[in-house]
Amino acid sequence: MNLIALQNWLDNASFAVLFVTMLVYWGGAAFPNIPATAIGTAGMAIANLCIATLLGARWLEAGYFPLSNLYESLFFLTWGITTIHLIAENTSRSRLVGVVTAPVAMAITAFATLTLPSEMQVAEPLVPALKSNWLMMHVSVMMLSYAALMVGSLVAIAFLIVTRAQDIQLQGSSVGTGGYRSNGYRLHKAGELVSQTQSQTQPVADDNNGVVRRESNSNGKTAVLDLVTVPQSQAVSTAEPLSPQRLGLAETLDNISYRIIGLGFPLLTIGIIAGAVWANEAWGSYWSWDPKETWALITWLVFAAYLHARITRGWQGRRPAILAASGFVVVWICYLGVNLLGKGLHSYGWFF
């Protein structure tokens, strides 16, 4: 079997499948009646399988774990993103996950397949510093952490889009057990504050000088909308209140973003520690403030601040979502930016 020809076919097939998958997700977002989620999930699974086969063929051809150059790491990153996407989509049941992750996975594949010079796509013998078992341990864990953090950041961006960047505050724990407040409306989960057996609409005065309106939904469960009056001394927002459906979707996205970043952060920590041990073996120093090491530390600090704000400070809603969204840019600088500038020990040396 010609493994090189197989790799060339698989990288083009992965790009084509991800491009069609992106269009399916976008079409499903524009036209909700289209059953896009099942088709999109199938497309992501096919692309994931194609990339896994490509990396396996590369491993057989070169004789080492395929993470030695930019071409291989880009496809490994795409494989990680599609894997995390499938987990997140199965958990959230939301097509918006694919709306934000599919174009990123497609763009990475297009960059690796169509933009990289051909000499950077060829498997070459490893340099002496890379002939170590730490290549698989350090680089694979780092790439998986990048994939998880990117998907978590993208879901946070989707949260900001769904909520129109309004100040939506979750009333409860950081994993989404409470409700959201939007422009004076608070949506609680059905049945938490009102018995599910209540079926009549009944206004009741509350302590906030507002009115509680109890409504039954089609499932026989009761949702509660707490309309809070705003003092005249305060500025009243002119933004349209979000619907209960949007608020429920926002809660799901906020929750899944938090959980995925919570998965990626320990992987990033382990990857940095493994890299320090490998650096000591290869270069005689655990930490040399190489640009890659510096940006890995910055990335760790950004997401450590996000998790700290969620867990101990009680930040929920827009503020942590903005922090996570900024982390998407930081991850890209850490992974690709400093490498392509040709500076430091981790350089690909393409631009300079």
Which tens digit of pLDDT belongs to each residue from 117-165?
888 788 877 776 677 777 788 889 999 999 999 999 999 998 888 887 5
Q: Which DSSP category does 73 fall into?
A: H
| In 175-290, alpha helices (H) | 244-283
What are residue 38's DSSP bridge partners? none
| Confidence at residue 341, expressed as pLDDT on a 0 to 100 scale | 66
Query: What strand order describes the sheet that includes 185-188?
Result: 169-171, 179-182, 185-188, 222-227, 211-216, 204-205
Q: What distance, in Å, lies between the first and last C-alpha atoms of the chain?
A: 38
- Tokens 């799901």 -> residue: 252
Question: Under the phi-then-psi rule, with left for phi > 0, alpha for psi from -120 to 50, and beta for the rest, what region is 284?
Answer: left
Task: Quickly state the pLDDT bin for 237 (edges 50, 70, 90).
Answer: very low
pLDDT of residue 2: 78
> Is the pTM of the predicted complex or chain greater than 0.85?
no
Residue 48: predicted pLDDT: 96
Dump pLDDT digits (tens) for 256-265.
999 999 999 9
Q: Examine the pLDDT at 291 and tell me if it is beyond 90.
A: no
Tokens 């397949």 -> residue: 113
Q: Is 33 helix (H, G, I), strand (E, B) or coil?
A: coil
CA 216, chain centre distance (Å):
35
Element at 216 (helix H, strand E): strand 211-216
- 3-state secondary structure at position 268: helix
Burial 187-199 (b: 16+ CB within 10 A, else e): bbbbbeebeeebe
DSSP label at residue 144: H
> What is the percentage of the chain residues whose pLDDT exceeds 90?
35
Alpha-carbon span 307 to 239, nearest angstrom: 29
pLDDT at 215 over 50: no
